């Protein structure tokens, strides 16, 4: 009996302790959430831009906005340090809106500096890519938010790509599809990010207004010596050809990886081999230089 009582007491203590830890975790999460919310409101976030290039020539095709947190005590933090918390707590919605507005404003400024009015149709223009979280795609007012940011910043909709994750297209409900179609109707291009890592809802792809597939870095990394990774890259390139979609390879770190992708027929890529994510000023220099050389090319 004593032994039983002892065991019960022990269990109760453990449960109590567990409860305490649970509350302390919860408090911790609440505190971190509040800190992140404040960071968004106080403009502590920064948008970096990673170029995407034509693999064969290195010519600039697009820049992808990637959020950073300029934390007052911890320094510059990458999304791995806070995007999961943002997603869990819903902070990712105001955060994502902030990133979209800031990136569009910045990129509109580069166009303006290069004398490119918003209405100039130009197939060779540099695109802007922005990541959308599943929580953002689930917002009823997503389309209105995007539309008003485009209006406010003057960034042309047909130069914008929004990247969604594979999880969004796994079980696309009619409301989600409706929102994606409305974005497409605004002239915005939709890409599936980290393609191949998730659930590969291949049959769905055809019915969605998505026209870009971004091969996840994990497959590009293994392209030289992992036959399965290589097969996935090849499969995505073929899928792109069959569905008339653009295929972009992510995370290219070596010349060999770039060469293997070119050989497969992949035309566009991103990765440290070409460019790291750049702070806004450096990205601006690159984009404006690209506009200048193109202007010269057009004149000659």
Q: Which stretch binds ligand C2E (CB under 6 A): 154-162, 235-243, 251-259, 281-289?
A: 251-259
CA 130 – CA 164 distance, rounded (Å): 9
Which of 194, 195, 221, 271 is the binder for Mg ion (CB under 5 A)? Answer: 194
Task: State yes or no: residue 270 binds ligand C2E (CB under 6 A).
Answer: yes
106 binds, among Mg ion, ligand C2E, none (CB under 5 to 8 A by kind): none
161 contributes a contact to ligand C2E by CB under 6 A: no
CA-to-CA dists, residue 276 to 32, 195, 204, angstroms: 28, 20, 33
Note whether 189 binds Mg ion by CB under 5 A.
no
Q: Which of 98, 101, 146, 163 binds Mg ion (CB under 5 A)?
A: 163
**What's the farthest any 2 CA atoms get from each other in the chain?**
97
| Of 125 and 163, CB closest to Mg ion | 163
Interacting residue with ligand C2E among 83, 146, 229, 248 (CB under 6 A): 83
Among 51, 43, 44, 46, which Cα is nearest to 283's?
A: 51
Among 36, 60, 62, 67, binds ligand C2E (CB under 6 A): 67
Please provide the DSSP assignment of 263-274 as one string: HHT--EE-STTT
Q: Per residue, what are the HEC states of 153-205?
A: HCCCHHHEEEEEEHHHHHCCCHHHHHHHHHHHHCCCEEEEEEECCCCCCHHHH
**Secondary-structure percent of the chain, ordered helix, strand, coil, rounded to 5:** 55, 20, 25
Residue closer to ligand C2E (CB basis): 114 or 198 = 198
Select the binding partner of residue 142 from Mg ion, ligand C2E, none (C-beta < 5 to 8 A, by kind).
Answer: none
Taking the CA of residue 102 as centre, how many other CA atoms within 13 Å lie in the half-sphere pointing to its CB? 23
State which of positions 211-240 bind ligand C2E (CB under 6 A): 217
Decide whether 92 or 150 has the Cβ nearer to ligand C2E. Answer: 92
Return the residue of 63, 77, 91, 92 that touches ligand C2E, per CB under 6 A: 92
DSSP for residue 141: T
Residues that bind ligand C2E (CB under 6 A): 50, 66-67, 78-80, 83, 92, 96, 99, 131, 133, 193-194, 217, 250-253, 270-272, 277
Write out the residues near Mg ion by the rule CB under 5 A.
131, 163, 193-194, 250
């Amino acid at each position: 009996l004593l032994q039983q009582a002892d065991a019960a007491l022990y269990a109760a203590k453990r449960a109590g302790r567990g409860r305490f830890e649970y509350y302390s975790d919860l408090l911790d999460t609440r505190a971190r959430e509040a800190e992140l919310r404040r960071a968004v409101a106080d403009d502590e976030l920064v948008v970096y831009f990673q170029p995407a290039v034509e693999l064969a020539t290195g010519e600039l095709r697009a820049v992808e906005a990637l959020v950073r947190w300029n934390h007052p005590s911890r320094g510059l933090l990458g999304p791995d340090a806070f995007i999961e918390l943002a997603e869990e707590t819903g902070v990712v919605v105001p955060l994502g809106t902030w990133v979209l507005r800031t990136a569009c404003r910045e990129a509109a400024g580069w166009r303006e500096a290069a004398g490119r009015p918003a209405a100039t149709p130009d197939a060779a223009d540099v695109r802007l890519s922005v990541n959308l979280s599943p929580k953002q795609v689930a917002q009823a007012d997503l389309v209105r938010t995007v539309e008003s940011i485009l209006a406010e910043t003057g960034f042309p909709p047909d130069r914008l790509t929004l990247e969604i994750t594979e999880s969004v297209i796994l079980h696309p409900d009619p409301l989600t599809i409706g929102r994606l179609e409305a974005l497409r109707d605004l002239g915005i291009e939709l890409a599936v990010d980290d393609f191949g890592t998730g659930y590969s809802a291949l049959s769905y792809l055809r019915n969605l207004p998505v026209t870009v597939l971004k091969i996840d870095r994990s497959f590009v990394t293994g392209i030289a010596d992992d036959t399965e990774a290589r097969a996935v890259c090849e499969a995505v390139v073929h899928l792109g050809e069959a569905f008339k979609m653009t295929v972009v390879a992510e995370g290219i770190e070596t010349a060999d990886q770039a060469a293997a992708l070119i050989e497969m027929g992949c035309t566009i890529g991103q990765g440290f081999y070409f460019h790291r994510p750049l702070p806004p000023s450096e990205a601006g220099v690159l984009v404006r230089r690209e506009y200048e050389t193109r202007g010269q090319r057009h004149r000659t």
